[in-house]
Chain A
Amino acid sequence: MSPAEWSAVRLTAQLAAVTTLALLVIGTPIAWWLARTRSRLKPVAASLVAMPLVLPPSVLGFYLLLLMGPQGPVGQATQALGLGRLPFTFGGLVVGSVLYSMPFVVQPLQQAFEAIGERTLEAAATLRASPWDRFFSVALPLARPGLVTAGVLGFAHTVGEFGVVLMIGGNIPDKTRVLSVAIYDHVEASEFADAHRLSAGMVAFALVVLVTLYVVNRTARDSAGAAR
């Protein structure tokens, strides 16, 4: 592979790692709230989180571009804070990826939190655990399989995204040219052998990740079942 391609691989891994971390930090409280709330706002919030599943990535990218651009409110804020403009930077890519991969992290987490019975958390309360304490000592450990699934899906989905990245990040080598964009470049230039190499690598990566995830989840379920 060429140095440019290696750079794309590195950039992709970096973007996916940072995005996944950010998503776990942001997505966990959102998932917890969605799993526990009785608020009437819940369907609205759940829909907003799920939006990227149904919207074309170009729509999300377009609006993010407007928001983060020099005239957009977010763009003005980042400039006022001395952060500069986000479009066509790595930071901008992270913001776009976080929003775009949000449902893949929040939904498994939310399901994991919902599976924890209300009674178990109440038992913790009657055993003197404060709300924060209950979250960290009971909810998080019990949601661990969901946490793993969320992390893996978030990472894999970020690796595989294209539309949002192209809209927000463009195609700047070493800065915003990730693997999916590099493949697009090769195809545009009729370099099918190169496109093939990278694409096959992506297919293998996705397959390995998903098979691992399913095997791990099934092993966890089986051992729980056998113990019972």
Chain B
Amino acid sequence: MDEIQSLLHGFGVALTLKNLLLMFTGIILGVIIGVLPGLGGANGVAILLPLTFSMAQQPGGATSAIILLSCIYWGALFGGAITSILFNIPGEPWSVATTFDGYPLAQQGRAGSALTAAFTSSFVGALVAVIVITFLSPIVANFALAFGPPEFFAVYLLTFCAFIGTSKEPPFKTLASMMLGFALAAVGTDPVTGTLRLTFGFTRLLTGFDFLVAVIGLFGIGEILLTLEEGLAFKGASAKLNMKVVLETWKELPKYWLTSVRSSVVGCFMGIVPGGATPASFMSYGVARRFSRDGDAFGTGKIEGVVAPETAAHAAGTAALLPMITLGVPGSPTAAVLLGGLMIWGLQPGPLLFVEQKDFVWGLIASMYLGNIAGLIVVLTCVPLFAAILRVPFSVIAPIIMVVCAIGAYTIHNSIFDVWMMVVFGIAGYLFKKLQYPLAPMVLAIVLGDATEASFRQAMLVSQGDMSIFFSKPLVGSLTSLALLLLFWPLISAAIGRLRRG
């Protein structure tokens, strides 16, 4: 049981006064970010990433920095549920499914129970995922130590093909948006030969596009523009959360243990295979409705209908960090931003992290346990406070969010040009969202573009241009086959559907 020992060591790293303080700061900031329109997990973390630059320089600072940022992420995951239940506005895409039963509950005056159920199941989902991370990630990392360029390319291929196979958006739009991400990643210096590419003579483009700027623009500015269309006012139910309601709901929750287990499994799976928290929450809601005894009553205000999507979303959001720390392949946009942070702090994400940066990795994993406990405490005690933020008029909160986004974009490289790019990405984000071009594959492509290309070219060098290298060994062969299966899944499932009907 090496993991237990490493984990205990990790708790030693994470449990300092400074780190605990950062944990609570992160959670509170994260919940605020999750509650506010236009700020979400991914761009919230991206905006606050520059804050950690000087912090990460100190010894042990990288651990503190990742604790702060990952806690912002947990906070945002918790925060999404507040707006869904009280205001019927999903603060985050993964809490859309929570509105189905959460908002009716609030209208019936049971907002307290709905919130307690949501927070508790978020916590349970996260806990299951952290346990999975604790025991599975050392194995995956150890396994991945033997990976060469072909294996890494196959993993990247699998990541991107999974988007096409699992996303609800039209496959060609997913493909277009993903390839645009690759094209943006290719701008600047070629990672292998150092040749300048796609700069068209603009010196500004020599360093390429930073995906953090893209994240802030696409998810931040784009989201605010979308919110504006819906009008400027939020109307919501009020929330009173006292110990009595909490305890009563907790007494009711064990009834739904089977739903929790199912949702955690769905969530962990969707998080590790890059599907992400959003599809996981919908899938888990659908599964719960099908299997529940009173599935027909879903949508009218059932606690079970809150438990299912929240457990899955939080499990997926947490599990998305597993491929990030073990392989250097993030499972979600927020995990991608955290990965970007790691690289900026000078840590090389991937299997070697478990060998060379034990303190960092196990400190992070231990902080996941602590951060989620801290998160549960914060949200259960401070709901009215966070709900009050949404009552601040939009004409005050919108410009402040814009300013925060601009500061975030500027501070990444101290460049005004990045602020302009943020506005451009914002317009793109608005158009893409409205026309159903998914943003997540684009962001992941910008992050992983160079690494994907480098691993492909290295593999080609090894094989002297022979593509069969991607099928040369059982491991790389099965990864590639799985990737191709997912890539053509839309076609395959259409064919199966036609066969059944015909």
Tell me if chain B binds chain A. no
